[in-house]
Structure 1
Amino acid sequence: MRCYFHLASRHESIPDSTGIEVADLVEMQRQVMQTIEELRQGVGFDEEDWRDWQLNVVDEAGNLLMAIQLDMLPAEANLHDGGSARVVTRML
Protein backbone atom coordinates (compact mmCIF):
# COMPACT_ATOMS: atom_id res chain seq x y z
CA MET A 1 0.00 0.00 0.00
CA ARG A 2 1.20 3.51 -0.74
CA CYS A 3 1.14 6.06 2.07
CA TYR A 4 1.65 9.80 1.98
CA PHE A 5 2.99 11.82 4.92
CA HIS A 6 1.46 15.30 4.85
CA LEU A 7 2.59 17.98 7.31
CA ALA A 8 -0.12 20.43 8.32
CA SER A 9 -0.66 23.30 10.71
CA ARG A 10 -3.51 25.76 11.04
CA HIS A 11 -1.88 28.15 8.57
CA GLU A 12 0.23 26.00 6.29
CA SER A 13 0.45 22.56 4.74
CA ILE A 14 3.29 20.65 3.15
CA PRO A 15 1.87 17.82 1.06
CA ASP A 16 3.82 14.67 0.26
CA SER A 17 3.38 14.09 -3.46
CA THR A 18 5.72 11.07 -3.62
CA GLY A 19 4.63 8.82 -0.80
CA ILE A 20 6.19 5.53 0.23
CA GLU A 21 5.23 1.93 -0.42
CA VAL A 22 4.70 -0.17 2.72
CA ALA A 23 3.69 -3.79 3.15
CA ASP A 24 1.35 -3.28 6.10
CA LEU A 25 0.33 -0.94 8.92
CA VAL A 26 3.22 -2.06 11.15
CA GLU A 27 5.74 -1.05 8.49
CA MET A 28 3.84 2.21 7.97
CA GLN A 29 4.16 3.02 11.67
CA ARG A 30 7.91 2.31 11.55
CA GLN A 31 8.26 4.62 8.55
CA VAL A 32 6.31 7.34 10.38
CA MET A 33 8.67 7.16 13.36
CA GLN A 34 11.68 7.24 11.03
CA THR A 35 10.25 10.30 9.25
CA ILE A 36 9.74 12.12 12.54
CA GLU A 37 13.31 11.27 13.59
CA GLU A 38 14.61 12.65 10.27
CA LEU A 39 12.60 15.84 10.79
CA ARG A 40 14.09 16.23 14.25
CA GLN A 41 17.61 15.75 12.92
CA GLY A 42 17.10 18.09 9.97
CA VAL A 43 15.01 20.84 11.53
CA GLY A 44 15.63 20.23 15.21
CA PHE A 45 13.19 19.68 18.00
CA ASP A 46 11.96 22.81 19.68
CA GLU A 47 8.40 22.41 20.87
CA GLU A 48 7.64 25.99 19.81
CA ASP A 49 8.75 25.24 16.24
CA TRP A 50 6.32 22.33 16.03
CA ARG A 51 3.39 24.00 17.79
CA ASP A 52 0.16 23.16 15.93
CA TRP A 53 1.95 20.94 13.40
CA GLN A 54 0.59 17.50 12.68
CA LEU A 55 1.79 14.62 10.54
CA ASN A 56 -1.15 13.11 8.66
CA VAL A 57 -0.64 9.75 7.01
CA VAL A 58 -3.09 9.03 4.20
CA ASP A 59 -3.52 6.22 1.70
CA GLU A 60 -3.79 6.58 -2.07
CA ALA A 61 -7.50 7.37 -1.81
CA GLY A 62 -6.80 10.17 0.67
CA ASN A 63 -8.18 8.27 3.68
CA LEU A 64 -6.54 9.35 6.94
CA LEU A 65 -4.72 6.36 8.47
CA MET A 66 -2.80 8.04 11.28
CA ALA A 67 -2.38 11.52 12.75
CA ILE A 68 0.44 12.61 15.06
CA GLN A 69 0.59 15.95 16.89
CA LEU A 70 4.27 16.83 16.53
CA ASP A 71 4.35 19.39 19.34
CA MET A 72 3.23 16.74 21.83
CA LEU A 73 6.13 14.34 21.24
CA PRO A 74 8.67 14.59 24.06
CA ALA A 75 12.12 15.62 22.85
CA GLU A 76 13.67 12.63 24.59
CA ALA A 77 11.21 10.12 23.09
CA ASN A 78 12.77 6.99 21.69
CA LEU A 79 10.90 6.91 18.42
CA HIS A 80 12.46 3.71 17.16
CA ASP A 81 10.61 1.52 19.64
CA GLY A 82 7.35 3.48 19.28
CA GLY A 83 6.91 3.47 23.04
CA SER A 84 6.60 7.19 23.76
CA ALA A 85 4.80 7.95 20.54
CA ARG A 86 1.84 5.72 21.38
CA VAL A 87 0.23 8.39 23.53
CA VAL A 88 0.10 10.92 20.71
CA THR A 89 -0.61 8.78 17.69
CA ARG A 90 -4.10 8.14 16.49
CA MET A 91 -4.72 5.21 14.20
CA LEU A 92 -7.93 5.65 12.24
Structure 2
Amino acid sequence: MSVPEMIVSGRFFFHLICNGEVIRDEEGVNLATEDGVLICAAQAIQELRQEGFFASGEWQGWQMEVTDCAGRTILSFALGEPNLEQSPVCVH
Protein backbone atom coordinates (compact mmCIF):
# COMPACT_ATOMS: atom_id res chain seq x y z
CA MET A 1 0.00 0.00 0.00
CA SER A 2 1.23 3.46 -0.76
CA VAL A 3 -0.01 6.96 -0.19
CA PRO A 4 0.11 9.33 -3.17
CA GLU A 5 3.20 11.52 -3.33
CA MET A 6 1.04 14.64 -3.48
CA ILE A 7 0.33 14.33 0.25
CA VAL A 8 2.19 16.98 2.16
CA SER A 9 1.90 18.18 5.72
CA GLY A 10 -1.39 19.80 6.59
CA ARG A 11 -4.78 19.27 8.17
CA PHE A 12 -6.64 16.04 7.47
CA PHE A 13 -10.25 15.18 8.27
CA PHE A 14 -11.62 11.74 9.17
CA HIS A 15 -15.27 11.57 8.07
CA LEU A 16 -17.67 8.66 8.61
CA ILE A 17 -20.03 7.95 5.69
CA CYS A 18 -22.93 5.55 5.08
CA ASN A 19 -25.62 5.69 2.38
CA GLY A 20 -25.48 9.46 2.03
CA GLU A 21 -25.28 10.08 5.79
CA VAL A 22 -22.06 11.84 6.77
CA ILE A 23 -20.60 12.40 10.21
CA ARG A 24 -18.09 15.14 9.44
CA ASP A 25 -14.85 15.64 11.28
CA GLU A 26 -15.03 19.40 11.69
CA GLU A 27 -11.74 19.80 13.57
CA GLY A 28 -9.33 17.60 11.64
CA VAL A 29 -5.79 16.79 12.67
CA ASN A 30 -2.53 18.47 11.68
CA LEU A 31 -0.12 15.83 10.41
CA ALA A 32 3.43 16.38 9.23
CA THR A 33 3.96 13.19 7.21
CA GLU A 34 2.02 10.79 5.00
CA ASP A 35 2.73 8.10 7.58
CA GLY A 36 0.86 10.26 10.08
CA VAL A 37 -2.34 9.88 8.04
CA LEU A 38 -2.08 6.08 8.20
CA ILE A 39 -1.15 6.08 11.88
CA CYS A 40 -4.04 8.38 12.77
CA ALA A 41 -6.50 6.20 10.80
CA ALA A 42 -5.17 3.10 12.59
CA GLN A 43 -5.62 4.82 15.96
CA ALA A 44 -9.22 5.75 15.08
CA ILE A 45 -9.93 2.12 14.15
CA GLN A 46 -8.37 0.94 17.41
CA GLU A 47 -10.57 3.34 19.40
CA LEU A 48 -13.70 2.07 17.65
CA ARG A 49 -12.60 -1.53 18.27
CA GLN A 50 -12.07 -0.82 21.97
CA GLU A 51 -15.57 0.66 22.17
CA GLY A 52 -16.91 -2.62 20.74
CA PHE A 53 -18.55 -1.06 17.68
CA PHE A 54 -17.21 -3.69 15.27
CA ALA A 55 -18.46 -6.59 17.38
CA SER A 56 -22.00 -5.22 17.41
CA GLY A 57 -22.19 -4.82 13.64
CA GLU A 58 -23.17 -1.21 14.25
CA TRP A 59 -20.77 0.02 11.57
CA GLN A 60 -21.91 -2.33 8.81
CA GLY A 61 -22.08 -0.28 5.60
CA TRP A 62 -20.06 2.62 7.04
CA GLN A 63 -16.71 3.77 5.75
CA MET A 64 -14.05 6.16 6.97
CA GLU A 65 -12.93 8.71 4.42
CA VAL A 66 -9.83 10.79 5.05
CA THR A 67 -9.68 14.10 3.18
CA ASP A 68 -7.12 16.86 2.98
CA CYS A 69 -7.86 20.54 3.59
CA ALA A 70 -8.89 20.93 -0.07
CA GLY A 71 -11.53 18.20 0.34
CA ARG A 72 -9.66 15.61 -1.75
CA THR A 73 -10.09 12.02 -0.58
CA ILE A 74 -6.72 10.63 0.49
CA LEU A 75 -7.77 7.32 2.00
CA SER A 76 -11.04 5.41 2.45
CA PHE A 77 -11.98 2.03 3.84
CA ALA A 78 -15.01 0.09 5.07
CA LEU A 79 -15.57 -0.06 8.83
CA GLY A 80 -18.09 -2.90 8.93
CA GLU A 81 -15.75 -5.65 7.70
CA PRO A 82 -15.92 -8.77 9.89
CA ASN A 83 -12.15 -8.69 10.35
CA LEU A 84 -11.01 -5.12 9.80
CA GLU A 85 -7.33 -5.99 10.14
CA GLN A 86 -7.60 -7.95 6.87
CA SER A 87 -9.96 -5.63 4.98
CA PRO A 88 -8.54 -3.78 2.00
CA VAL A 89 -7.69 -0.12 2.26
CA CYS A 90 -8.36 2.04 -0.76
CA VAL A 91 -5.83 4.81 -1.28
CA HIS A 92 -6.73 7.53 -3.78
Q: TM-score, normalised by structure 1?
A: 0.79
Alignment partner for residue 59 of structure 1, among 53, 68, 78?
68
Shift >2 Å, 4+ stretches: none
Number of the residue aligned with 1:10: 19
Give the partner amino acid of 2:79.
Answer: L
Q: Does 1:89 align with 2:81?
A: no
Tell me the percent identity.
29
Quote how far apart the aligned CAs of 1:41 are: 1.6
CA RMSD of superposed structures (Å)? 1.8
Q: Which runs of 5+ in 1 are unaligned?
A: 78-83
Match of 1:31 among 31, 40, 43: 40
Note the C-alpha offset of 1:73: 5.5
Would you say the 8 A contact 2:66–2:75 is kept in 1? Answer: yes
Q: 1:59 & 1:73 partners in 2: Cα distance?
A: 28
- How far apart, in 2, do the equivalents of 1:58 and 1:72 lie? 21
